Each structure stands twice: as structure tokens, then as C-alpha cells.
Amino acid sequence: MAIILFVGFVAFVLWLSFYLGARTRTSNAYYAAGGQIHWGVNGIAFAGDYLSAASFLGICGMIATVGYDGFLYSIGYLAGWIVALFVVAEAMKRLGKYTFTDALDAKFDSRGIKLAAAISTLIISIFYLIPQMVGAGVLVEPLLGLAHHWGVLIVGAVVITIVATAGMTSTTYVQFIKGGLLIIFSTVLVISVLGRGFTTKPDQGGKVQYYEYASMPAEMSGGQLTVTEPGWDVVEIEEVGVTKTKIARFALLDNGGARTWWELEKKPTGLLLQETQSVIVTPDGQKTINGSPASDGNQLRQIGNVEILRGEKMAPSGRMTPFSFLAGMSDPNTTIRRWQNAKFTDESENAVTVYFPVLTTGNKFMRPGLKFKVEGSPIEKLDFISLMLALFCGTAALPHILIRYYTVPDPASARKSTIVAIAAIGFFYILTLFMGLGAMMNGVVPPADNNMAAPLLARSFTELLFAVISAIAFATILGTVSGLIVAASGAVAHDLADRYMGISMSDQTKVKVGKIAALVVGAFAIVLGIVFKGMNVSFLVGLAFAVAASANLPSIIMLLFWKKTTAKGITASIFTGIVSALVLIALSPDLFKQFGLDPTTAPIPFTNPGIISIPLSFTVLVVVSLMTQKKDEEDAEAEAA
Amino acid sequence: MLHEPAAQAGEDFSAAYKTRLGVQMFIPYLLFYAGFVALSLASPQSMEAIVLLGMNLATVYGFALIVVALILALIYDGLCRAREARDKAASIADAAAGAAAETAATDKGEAN
């Protein structure tokens, strides 16, 4: 069913592209859909562009594992649209032709701005492309049973075909269809969650038996750990730092030859061994999961459940209202079983990953603090502010969002389509809270990759819903990647080749160059999608927002509101924003961790660069503009002469 | 090199008003958003307080940031539309008055 739906959807998208491609003759039609898209269609297409893999897969997965902190992304992403509506929308439409560079450069006609803005568009688009392609790979594994790289290749090939055939017109209609379907079927999924009712022993509608994790007492005497239960022998004990302040102890136990890792906890009643899930990879590549060789039938169990609901061990069943659902989750007498992981190398040089449960009360789960340490050190607090700043400022600076303002006929349509987008995206983001919490409560979260939480929540209801949701999730990626590749190809063909290098091109040649650029960028995205397999989708998108907010937003804002802004000021600001954001990201603890380095040795103590790079970019623009006031006027006069 | 929009639109007589209004409406929302971030940092425990229909302050504030964004957007659109209609009507009236004056001047010239 999933395969039929998926193939059917992809075939429809390709047909639409060829159909609309036959009508695309001019660069105006290719890059800006002729500026004739209806604002209502454009508004939903905005939602389609914006609700990428990060929104659907990443946020739901993050809410399922860290609760409210995942919802912070929903809040920040939506709030950013207010900047787009009140400050940027109509002005961008009035100033530009095809690309964000056109708008920035409208007043100056500066080669520096053309180069800087085109490079910025390319870098941000590529940053944003990586998580989409990684998400595609993640999705095809359970959907089609294909390896990660096949998913990336399929998305790449389909998107290149879409973009190379019809450009912005087909991209817009693909986004419109996908955005609409995503919102409709996410609503169906949330209604299904509320209809199923609360459960403390999730069994996925009777499909998967609820697994009770065992615990057993242990004793420590003379530095030797022994298990009270007969038949269990302690092989070794490891101490692992799982956070800056928390050290966990794990014991490898042998039971008749089967070896599993248990978490050793100190309780008021004595020592307790708590069952975990573990993946052990031997130096020669043999993989065991939970004590048995890895196979199709032996994979990590899906996780997440409400342990106690409002003080009751057995949750009452029956329908819930949206309010009673959230009230139940937020209750201090509700206990949620979350999971964390620890990675280490054991005494036999095996690479071990242990997934172990952590109990969190509902009131803590449903407020900021589990992922972002709002009660932590000043640096951790600064990191939180930095993230919220980047999310707020990033939306109005994303190139694939900005180019959508050129597809409508006039500034009023740009405004109205932004309002439709806010309504559609806002509604969807409210749904993410229910989908994420629903995935956790129904125990469908894969421990090693929470990106699949929402599609697997759908599977817990029916295969049909899973197939539809997965096909839409795949289309989500297709649509976003299409928009990004159009933006990137516009930057190459229009901004760099035509306007920066001054290569004289006919209208049709310009379209041809754009299509070749789409092919190259698409191929590059395929390679990156394969190389960056396993990276967290939301993490990467958050960074793309920070780069966009640092590189583009200061220029847009100052151009509109400060008359002394000069071309050199804008150019310097864009380069400063890109370089400072990228350097801060490259030296951050999260990236060190991602590449297997010790995060405590990272020179920059926080992960989100926005708090430094955005003000720095503003400052450079002001300083350079003030320094080049006269120079710019002279240059303009010389050019006029 | 051309900078004109992809589709030609008529002159926007209300552009200055809409820019000013946008900034005036942006600032309260910015403060509302900043308040959320500040409260999360200064007093995260207060986000646990049950404030509406069993939901805690974090949930209600988060939803409010989404809903208020839409309400402000609709108010902004309403005010912009009203102003656009008024400015357009005024420009048409000005153009008509100008044309009438021109015609009257021509008629007077012919009569002389």
C-alpha cells in the first residue's frame, strides 16, 4: 500500500511538472512563475515550502523525546513569520524581480552586493538542503525497505526533474498540494490520537505487545557487584558522563551466555539494576542488539510511554479533548518514561550504545528545560536566547521563502499570501505538539532516530494512514528541496552569471543556465545527503536559520529603515554574517560531538551562533556604511558620468 | 540590468503608511515574544502553573504566541486594505479632477 501510494504520488508530481514545463518559456516564468500565482495558492505553497522535514519529522520527534523543548522550535519558526509580514513581505515584492539579491541591489546596482548575496543564497540553500536529503534517506528505509542512499538518490532525481522541467510554477503547485495534504492528514492523525485515549501500557492498538522493562536488586560488597537474582553474573561496570552534571553507571550482565547492559541506580532501598536497550558492535563489525545478533526480526524496541497518569498506574481509556490531553500530560502527578543514550567503548573494545529510561514528571516535561538548560549556567542560558533569536529572525531571511514573494502579482498579494501562510503554518505547529506527545504516549519512538516518530504514530493506527503520511512526508521533502534548488539555481544563473559577471544571455539561455545550475546543485545535494547520514535534522535546520538570520536579515532591515546604508556596508555585513556564523558553528560543542571529538574541548562554549553573529553583522553594516558615505556617492557619480 | 518586478503592479499609494503600521504592530509582538523567552529563563517554574482548562502557562503562552500572530496579521491586513481602498479612491478622484480641469481649460481656450 505504502509503495503504491508513494509511486502514485511521485508519478503525479512528475506529470504535473512536464505539463507545466510545456508552458514555461521565459525566465520570468521559470524563476517567478510569471508573477501570476494567486495569493491563496501562494500562501499554502509558502506553508509547503516552510513545513520541511525539520518541521514534520524533526519537531515531532523532538517533542516525543524532550517534550516542550521540541515545541519551542514550532513557536520560534511561527513567530518569525511576523517579521516576514510586518517588515519584509511588501518591501521585498516592491524591490525585487526574481531573487533576494535583486531586492538588496535595487538601490545600488553594486557588484559587491550581487556577489555577496548570491554566495549567501547558495550557502544557506545548501545548509538547508542537507537535512532534507538526510530526512529522505531516513524515510525510505521503513517505507520502501531501501537503504538510506537510495532515498537520497530518489529525492535528488525527482527534484532535479521537477526543477529542470518547469521551475517555480511546478514547484509552487507541488508545494500547494503537499502543504494542503500535510495539514489535512496531520489533523486526521491528531483526531486519531485523541480518539484512542490515554494509555499507560501502549500496545499500538493491539499490534505490538507492551514490553515491561525488568529491574532487580543488587549488592555491592568489597568493591564487587553481585546480582541477588540467581543465574546473573556481572561481567564489568562502566561509568559514563551522559550530561555535564550526570554520570550514569552501567553493568554488563551475563545470563546463560546472553550479555546485556543494565543501568545501576542507587535507590533509598538499595542498589537497583534497571533493564536498558543496547547495541554492541565488535571490532570486526558484528552487531548485537539487546544481547542477540542484529537481524530484521531483532531491532531496538520502539520506546516512550506515560508511566503514571495523574497518580494512576492504569490510565482511564476513552476519548480525550485537546485540553484534557494537554492537562493530563502537564500534571505534576503524571510520570513520563523518557529515554537517553550513552556511548562508550567497553573492556573488550566493543563500541557500545546504551539506551536507558529516565522518569520525568509531567510538569517538567511540559515546560522548557529538558533539552535547553534554562536553569543552567549563564552560557547555557545564552545558548537558549541565541536559538530563540535565530528562529525569530531566520524565517524572513531564507532565500527559498523570499523568492516566493515574486510569484504573486503585487505587494498586496504578497501580504495576503503571508497571512494565509501564518494561518496554515500556525495551525500545523499546534498539531505538532499533539503528534509529538501522541508518539511518546503510544510508544512508537525509535530510540536511535526519533525523526520517524510521526509516521510510526500513524502506523500504530492503520497501514493506510502510515502510507499516506509517509508519502506526504516524502513530498514534504520533495517540495522543500525543489524550492531550495530553484533559489540556488537563481543565485547562480541570474545573480552570478548574468548580473555579477555580466554574461550577456538571451531569456531562453538564462532559463537553460538555471536548469544546468539546478542539475549541479541537485547532484551536490545528493552527495551531501549521503555523507551526512545520521545527523539530526532539526539541529541542522536550526543552524541554517542562524546563518540566514546573520547573513541576510541585517541587510534587509537596514536597507529598508536606515537611509545611510551603503552598498559596501551591505556587502561587508553579508560576508561577516556568513563567516562568523559558520566559524562559530564549526567550533561549537555540538559539532565537535557530531564528529566524534570531545565537546568539552570546543573553543566556543555554545551551539547557536545567532547571539553573536546577528549583532556583529548589524554592527559591521553600520560601521562600514558610515565609513563609506562619501565614497559611495563618488562611485555613483562616476558610474553616472 | 533590470530590477523591475516579475509582474507589473500599479503604483502603491499606501506604501509609506503600511511600512509605518508594520513597524508599529511588530514592536508589541516582539515584546510578547521576548517576554516568553525572559520568563522561561527567569522563572521556569512559573511556566508549570496551571492557568487555563488544566493547561500550564508554558502551553498557553506558546499557543498564544501562535494565535496572537494570526490575529495581528488579520488586523494588519484589514487596516492595509482599508487604507489601500481609500488611497486608491483618492488617486482616482484626483486624476478625474485633474482631467476635468484640463478639459475645462481646453474648452475655455477654444471659446476664446
Q: Write down how long chain B is.
A: 112
Domains of chain A: 2-196+392-534 (1.20.1730.10), 215-365 (no CATH)
Q: Is residue A416 predicted with pLDDT exceeding 50?
A: yes
Highest mean pLDDT among A244-248, A327-331, B100-104: A327-331
> Which carries the bigger pLDDT value, residue B10 or residue B59?
B59
* Among the partner residues A79, A85, A406, nearest to B33 by beta-carbon distance: A79
Contacts of A325 in chain B (CB under 8 A): none
State how beta strands A287-289 and A292-293 pair. Answer: antiparallel
Task: Output A72 or A535, whichever has higher pLDDT.
Answer: A72
Strand A277-281, strand A224-227: pairing: unpaired
* Least confident span in A152-161, A221-230, A260-269: A152-161
pLDDT of amino acid B4: 43
The Cα–Cα gap between A296 and A176 comes to 37
Residue A166 has pLDDT above 80, yes or no: no
Mutate to test the interface with B, among A63, A82, A563 (most CBs of B within 10 A): A82
- Is pLDDT at A138 greater than 60 in this prediction? yes
- B50 part of contact set with chain A, CB < 8 Å: yes
**Cβ atoms of A393 and A80 closer than 8 Å:** yes
CA distance B112 to chain A (A): 46
Round to whole Å and give the CA distance between A264 and A238. 10
Give the contacts of A355 (CB within 8 A, at least 6 positions apart): A276, A277, A278, A300, A303, A339, A340, A341, A447, A448
Which residue from A79, A409, A416 is facing B9, i.e. has the nearest CB? Answer: A409
- Give the CA angle between residues A83, A85, A91 to the nearest 5°: 100
pLDDT score of B3 more than 50: no
What distance in Å separates residue B36's CA from the closest CA in chain A?
A: 10
Residue B10, pLDDT > 90, answer: no
Highest mean pLDDT among A7-11, A605-609, A630-634: A605-609
Rounded to the nearest integer, the mean pLDDT of chain A is: 84
**Is the pLDDT confidence value at B13 over 90?**
no
pLDDT score of B74? 94
Residue range A264-283: average pLDDT? 91
What is the mean predicted confidence (pLDDT) over A346-355? 91
Report pLDDT for A131.
Answer: 80
Where would I find the H helices in A235-377? 322-330, 362-365
pLDDT digits (tens, 9 = 90+) for B54-100: 999 999 999 999 999 999 999 999 999 899 888 888 878 887 788 77
**Three cell numbers, residue A608:** 547557536
- Given a cut of 90, whether residue A600 has pLDDT beyond it is no
ipTM value, please give it: 0.85
pLDDT of the residue at B7 = 47
Whether residue B9 and residue A410 make contact (CB cut-off 8 A), yes or no, is yes
Q: Please give the Cα distance from A622 to A633 (Å, whole number).
A: 16
Residue A360 confidence (pLDDT) above 60: yes
Across the range A552-575, mean pLDDT stands at 92
**Lowest mean pLDDT across A273-282, A463-472, A509-518:** A509-518
Is A433–B3 a contact, with Cβ atoms under 8 angstroms apart? Answer: no
Task: Summarize pLDDT for A173-187 with one digit per residue, the tens.
Answer: 777 888 888 899 999
Does B68 touch chain A if contact means CB atoms closer than 8 Å?
A: no
Q: Do B62 and A87 touch (CB under 8 A)?
A: no
Q: Pick the range with the lowest mean pLDDT from A128-137, A200-209, A213-222, A562-571.
A: A128-137
Indicate if the pLDDT at residue B5 is higher than 60.
Answer: no
Each residue of A84-93: pLDDT tens digit? 888 887 777 7
Contacts for B16 with CB less than 8 Å, ≥ 6 apart: none
Between the alpha carbon of residue A454 and those of residues A10, A372, A375, A471, the distances in Å are 21, 22, 30, 12
pLDDT over 70 at A244, yes or no: no
Q: Is B42 on the interface with A (CB under 8 A)?
A: no
Is pLDDT at A505 greater than 80 in this prediction?
A: no
Contact (CB<8Å) A363/B7: no
What percentage of chain A carries pLDDT values higher than 90? 31
Q: Which of A155-169, A205-219, A506-520 has the lowest mean pLDDT?
A: A155-169
Alpha-carbon distance of A111 to A122, in angstroms, equals: 17
The whole-angstrom separation of Cα A410 and Cα A423 is 20
B1 pLDDT band, cuts 50/70/90, is very low
Q: Which residues of B touch A429 (CB under 8 A)?
A: 66
Tell me the pLDDT tens digit for each residue of A534-549. 666 767 787 788 889 9
**Taking CA atoms, what residue in B is nearest to A560?**
B19
Please report, for residues A232, A235, B42, the alpha-carbon distance to residue A252 in angstroms, rounded to integers and kept in the order given: 10, 5, 42
Lowest-pLDDT range of A241-255, A289-303, A502-516: A502-516
Does A363 score more than 90 pLDDT?
yes
pLDDT digits (tens, 9 = 90+) for A19-49: 766 665 666 666 555 566 777 887 788 888 7
Q: Where are the alpha helices (DSSP H) in A395-444?
A: 399-402, 411-441
Contacts A28 to B, Cβ<8 Å: 6
Percent of chain A with pLDDT over 70: 90
Cβ neighbors of A139 (< 8 A, separation 6 or more) are A57, A151, A452, A455, A470, A473, A474, A477
Interface check B40 vs A, CB under 8 A: yes
Residue B2 has pLDDT above 60, yes or no: no
Q: Dihedral of the CA atoms A174, A180, A184, A186 (nearest 10)? A: 70
Joined together, the cell numbers standing for residue A444 give 512508537
* pLDDT at position A188 over 90: yes
Over residues B28-42, the pLDDT tens digits come to: 999 999 999 999 999
Average pLDDT over residues A70-79: 93
Name A107's Cβ contacts closer than 8 Å, sequence gap at least 6: A95, A559
Model confidence at A341: pLDDT above 80: yes
Q: What is the mean pLDDT of chain B?
A: 85
